[in-house]
Structure 1
Amino acid sequence: MTTAALGLGTYRIRPSALSDAAVRAASDPATAWIDTAPNYLGGTAQTVLAPALARHPVPVATKVGHLTRQAAKDAESDGAITSEDAKRGHCLSAPYIHWQCARNRTELGRDRLDLVFTHNPEQAGDDPYEALHGAFTALEAEVAAGTLTAYGVAAWDGFDTGTLSVPALHRLATEAAGTDRHHLRAVQLPVSLVNATALAQALEGDGPIAQAADLGWQVYASAPLFGGELPHLATRELTALLNPELTVAQACLLAAASCPGVTRILLSASTPAHWTEALAALRSPAIPVPTLRKVLDVLAAG
């Protein structure tokens, strides 16, 4: 068993710390990765990242879906979204996908995007799959145009509630591309000892993580420390079960990174110390599946 690689998440990071954090994330070319979105940090994350990315060409995942107030105003003015989309603040229509991909390229200073996630498609009205079909078709067109390498689906609770499933997404991408050699290559979802549904399923070889891994997709674990709250909720006794040589935060991070099928852990680490501690944790041996099962049983009984 191996642990997942570490990647920089930019959702909760302090704006003043973002540029330096990006440089730290780029320090190891073998694992470097940054995850962002056009609505992060009030819509400024991508432009703040751009100078660091120009100096350090680290791969970046960005997103389409959520609109800031300014982005909604601009997109509506350009005819890419309707006034109802603008009011809702979320859209996955094909015209919007193309508009947002172009804006992402401009803000990031990239001619080609590495990976674009459809962001929280479970919020896309009554039928997320109908919205995703149009989105996937547009994203396949971006790939064909040479402006995108691959795309994915980033959900918060869509997999837990059953609104989304990996097999259904695979079928939808096949329809959109006209072949099973589509470019849907990744999913992103919360994985932690608190958001433990997908983790528990993966330990039994089931659920979205295992299904994505079986297809050869990348699996990105978001919120591994539950927004920074998990280290305050966990106990030293729990840490001792996971790895007694680690801090509470390190042990909780290693638990998520040890989930079978997870390929990358996304952490919003604003300080060099936090990043170094995270790297040290992920260099530890993976926590065995029986131990992870025991820890989840303890938490369920608590």
Structure 2
Amino acid sequence: MIKMKPVIVVHGGAWAIPDELSRASVDGVKTAAREGFSVLKRGGNALDAVESAVRTMEDDTVFDAGHGSVLNTDGEVELDAIIMDGKTLGSGAVSSVKNIANPVSLARAVMEKTNHVLLTGRGANLFADSIGMATVPTDTLVTEYERREWEKQKTYLTGVNELFNSQCAHDTVGAVAVDSNGNVACATSTGGIRNKMVGRVGDSPIIGSGGYADNLSGAVSCTGHGESILKVTLARLILLHIEQGKAAADAAQMCLRYMKERVCGAGGVILVTPSGEWAAQFTTERMAWAAVEDDVLWYGLEPDERCKEQLFQ
């Protein structure tokens, strides 16, 4: 079997990341990319790599996933996540989950231990209990920064994408990878949008929208205005253009532009193909992202920014 070049790409959310969070956001995605790539470097598979990278960001309070999650209108945490295996098209997802520090791992358990794709709310938490997954007090998932911001913005203005694009915190996290066997995988995890309605589910846990992986085309993880991403099924739309012969970056740019023109939505995507071609594109002010290939770490925050450092000296 011909061995492929392993690649991992991660994102920490596409939005107007303020200066005071920019350094921590970039450091966070770089750490996650290194962690995921270390799995691939040891000969691990793409599924393990994306789960490891996303868990790293769920444990980092700078991001809106797991620890650091935002609060809904009732001041509660509701978490969403998806993971998908491009080899089998197996997928697992959870939505509106409470008290789980690493919802991406619960999503993987849904994929591997049930006959379903998506479990939500109470049912997802009951499943977590049934497999012995540890729960944590909600307070441990919420930072003091988020509580202060929640108090300031107790009303989420529905239907105003401009507010979302410029102000709202939504550091959804995600990862895509291809391993040495040419298998791809994706994972996406989020706490949603601050002051969202109770029970609101965005794109992140929805197959084809927040993420998709198929060995025949590639793997995508999306971030941005969830309702807009859902309307255009962004992840699957990008892979459709890949299947039609578009380059990764071109497909991402085209579909993000289409989403902006068609439904006035902004966002960002990361993707990788089975051959190792990758891209990180966004239409918001900033998106923290990082990628590793050939022991080189690439990362950025601003549009057209592409920084480089050697991973192993």
Q: Shared topology, TM-score over 0.5?
A: no
Bigger strand fraction? 2
User: Relative contact order (C-alpha < 8 Å, sep 6+): which is higher?
Assistant: 2
TM-score by length of 2: 0.30
TM-score by length of 1: 0.31
Structure with larger Rg? 1
Bigger helix fraction? 1
